[in-house]
Structure 1
Amino acid sequence: MTHGAGEQAVPRLGREELVDEPSQREVLSHEVLQRGHVQTLVREEFRLSGDVTLTRDFVQHPGAVVVAALNERNELLMIRQYRHPARMLMWELPAGLLDVEGESPWDGAPRELAEEADAVASEWHTLVDVQNSAGGSTEATRVFLARGLTPVPDADLHERDAEEAEIERAWVPVEEAVAAVFAGTVHNVGAVLGILAVDRFLAGSLELRPADAPWQAHPRHADWS
């Protein structure tokens, strides 16, 4: 890279330096604008630095988990359901909100896999963490890899309702799922992240983290120590 006169050099960073860090700014005021069923719209005034203060509206969200359930044939268990804001029937990976009080993400993920896909897994790892829209929401999502899959016993099957009552399930080869992502026919962010991460894992270029790895992007599950 070349630099013009008076232009500061742009540093080059490696893996060990590319780390998002917590930054707690002083909150001067907090106002609830609208409380919804799952999400809450709030307005906060905070001190950016020195005498600079800003006001921002954003959505408070409990966060979510996504499960990339992979079988021994390198197929992903995918589901299709209606998403009203998008007005679409969307192919996704099993997923759900972290809205059970006191439940950890690594407990929530198996629950969602059982409820949405009628499956249980014996082996769990963390694939990827994402802050869905950091400029406008606290929503954080963790994508898990689940292997060693078996069906939920008939007696323990979850009775799905609302949009989940229409869920369809299918096994999709990973290479076909990747092709769908780049063809622009799969849009769900959790599905896109999970599919591409699993593809990297199968290529041998992704080091898995434990299922209970610290989750820096989630305010309730971060471990800054």
Structure 2
Amino acid sequence: MSHEDDPHLQETPLARSELLRGHFLHVVRDTVRLPNGAEATREFVLHPGAVMIIGLLDDGRVVLERQFRHPMRAVMIEFPAGKLDAGEGSLLCAKRELLEETGYSAREWAFAGRLAPTIAYSDEVIDIWFARGLTLGERQLDEGEFLDVFAATPAELHAWCFGGKVIDCKTLIGSMWLQNVLRGEWALSWQGADATDDAGEFTA
């Protein structure tokens, strides 16, 4: 379904003002025309996009992280993930983030899909990548970045999601993807580590 199918729901951008440009966040306020002709404002975060990696170990476990997240004031269990650098492709970002955060390199990669975690107040889109044939090397954490890397079985992860131990949105969605892939219900198209193909346009 395209945007043209829903003219009665579409908002037309009229003007934009910048509210905040910080080191990490870029917040704007758009003035829009509503379907009924009235005007309204929309405040949201502009985001360059990100990736999440579901790393499959040879023993069947998956690679996870424990990291303190300041807004939540808690240590969260997450799949490895990170923001795209300027001009960086999705797959290259996934390879970089997996290596930097966990020390793992992968022999094969597969694009799974996309998720938009906060559609009410951000345009962020996260590409979901699967990686297998993992080889452990040296982590290259950013300055001021502290996280633990560990492995868990898919069953353990699913139980943590169900029980509320995992509440991170992208990890919950990743767990769903993992479950359906392992059941054979959602197929993946694997490519070698030397591939440079990006995720491309994903359509549901």
Give the structure-1-normalised TM-score.
0.78
**C-alpha distance in structure 2 between counterparts of 1:93 and 1:161, whole Å:** 20
Q: 1:130 aligns with which of 107, 115, 137?
A: 115
Cα–Cα, structure 1 residues 79 and 22, in superposed 2: closer, same or farther, change >3 Å?
Answer: same
**C-alpha distance in structure 1 between counterparts of 2:112 and 2:95, whole Å:** 15
Cα–Cα, structure 1 residues 135 and 31, in superposed 2: closer, same or farther, change >3 Å?
Answer: same
Pair 1:75-2:52 in alignment: no
Pair 1:171-2:151 in alignment: yes
Pair 1:28-2:14 in alignment: yes
Unaligned ranges ≥5, structure 2: 5-9, 191-196
Deviates more, 1:204-213 or 1:119-128: 204-213
Pair 1:59-2:45 in alignment: yes
* Cα displacement string for residues 105-131 of structure 1 (whole angstroms, at most 9, x for unaligned residues): 111001000000000011111223111
CA contact (8 A) 2:101 2:141 kept: no
Q: Give 2:128's aligned residue.
A: 143
Q: Give 1:158's aligned residue.
A: 140
For the residue of structure 2 that corresponds to 1:145, the secondary structure is: strand
Pair 1:87-2:69 in alignment: no
Shift of 1:36: 1.6
For the residue of structure 2 that corresponds to 1:176, the secondary structure is: helix
What is the aligned-residue RMSD (CA, Å)?
Answer: 2.0
Instruction: From the CA coordinates, give the structure whose radius of gyration is larger.
Output: 1
Shift of 1:85: 0.4
Cα–Cα, structure 1 residues 37 and 75, in superposed 2: closer, same or farther, change >3 Å?
Answer: same
Unaligned ranges ≥5, structure 1: 1-18, 218-225
**C-alpha distance in structure 2 between counterparts of 1:115 and 1:109, whole Å:** 10
Q: Give 1:11's aligned residue.
A: none
For the residue of structure 1 that corresponds to 2:180, the secondary structure is: helix
For the residue of structure 2 that corresponds to 1:67, the secondary structure is: strand
**C-alpha distance in structure 2 between counterparts of 1:159 and 1:127, whole Å:** 26
User: What is the number of equivalent residue pairs in this alignment?
Assistant: 192
**C-alpha distance in structure 1 between counterparts of 2:143 and 2:179, whole Å:** 32
CA contact (8 A) 2:104 2:136 kept: yes
**C-alpha distance in structure 1 between counterparts of 2:104 and 2:23, whole Å:** 28
Q: Give 1:220's aligned residue.
A: none
Pair 1:181-2:161 in alignment: yes
* Cα displacement string for residues 131-159 of structure 1 (whole angstroms, at most 9, x for unaligned residues): 1111211111111111110112x5xx414
CA contact (8 A) 1:66 1:96 kept: yes
Give the structure-2-normalised TM-score.
0.86
Structure 1 runs (4+) greater than 4 angstroms displaced: 22-25
CA contact (8 A) 1:143 1:193 kept: no
Q: 1:111 aligns with which of 90, 93, 96?
A: 96
